[in-house]
Chains A and B, each alone.
Chain A
Amino acid sequence: MEITVQEFKHCDMITVKGRVDSATAPQLAQALEAANEGGKYKLVINMSELEYMSSAGFRALLAAQRNSKRYNRGEVVMVSVPDRIREALELAGFTELFKTFDDSLSAVGHF
């Protein structure tokens, strides 16, 4: 798994590549916490190069969404979610908790 952070004027885009499971999810959680601690609460998670995500990854996303939405200071949105990951997120009832976008331009433009 590889994480890159790109800063935009009104949000940060966090691109997650590779596979997120119980071994790598702590790294994702850490990156999301670091963003929040740096005062960044408007976050776009770019999943275009994400191959796999288990519930350990879902847990990291949920924690970040909860923290970001507090006091209406922001939110976490997802972009380019691969079909299989989207299906698992749907099964887990997570798609209702996150806005999703098809391309990064509209995701960044949301903020």
Chain B
Amino acid sequence: MKNVQFSAKFEFLDEIREFVGDIARDGGFGGKDVYNIQLATDEAASNIIEHAYEGVADGILELSCGMKADAIKIVLIDHGEPFDPASIPMPDLKADLSERKIGGLGIFLMRKLMDEVRYESHPETNSNTLTMIKHKR
């Protein structure tokens, strides 16, 4: 697993996508899967920056990523407010334009694009871990 730390700011999303994209590409994922892995990681990181670190100026986002057999594993660790993706209701994708809610869409995409999305909160170390796994087809 390769590790890297980012300041929890939207301006680093480009680098975050590049980091996981390079590992996915080197690991043998095709262009479409690489895009989707980057999208899922972006959505996860954006949620952490927006919600876990809401109002926090100097949050740190730890990102680990690596291939294991035929799968890519991405781990995001933050030290912000616990934010369990499972607590967010699924968006109603059939709702009319006027009733369409945008909240939860990022998490919905993460779940759709990755094979596994797991969230753990560790109050004793004040850290939250989001793990995503995607297998090669």
Contact = CB atoms under 8 A, between A and B. Distances in A.
B109 interface: yes
Secondary structure at the B interface, as helix, strand, loop or mixed, is: helix
B26 interface: no
Nearest to A21: B13
Interface string B3-21: 0000000110110010000
Contact of A92 (B31, B46, B109): B109
Interface residues of A, number: 22
B71 interface: no
Interface stretch (A9-17, A40-48, A55-63, A101-109): A55-63
Contacts, number: 68
A54 B42 contact: yes
B117 to A, nearest CB: 15
Secondary structure at the A interface, as helix, strand, loop or mixed, is: helix
Interface string A22-65: 11000000000000000000000000000010111011001001
Interface residues of B, number: 29
Contacts of B10: 21-23
B50 interface: yes
A83 B36 CA distance: 12
A3 interface: no
A22 B108 CA distance: 16
Contacts of A97: 97, 100
B14 A19 contact: yes
B109 A22 contact: no
Interface in B58-103: 91, 93-94, 97-98, 100, 102
A19 to B, nearest CB: 7
A84 interface: yes
3 closest pairs, A vs B, by CB?
A93-B93, A23-B10, A22-B10
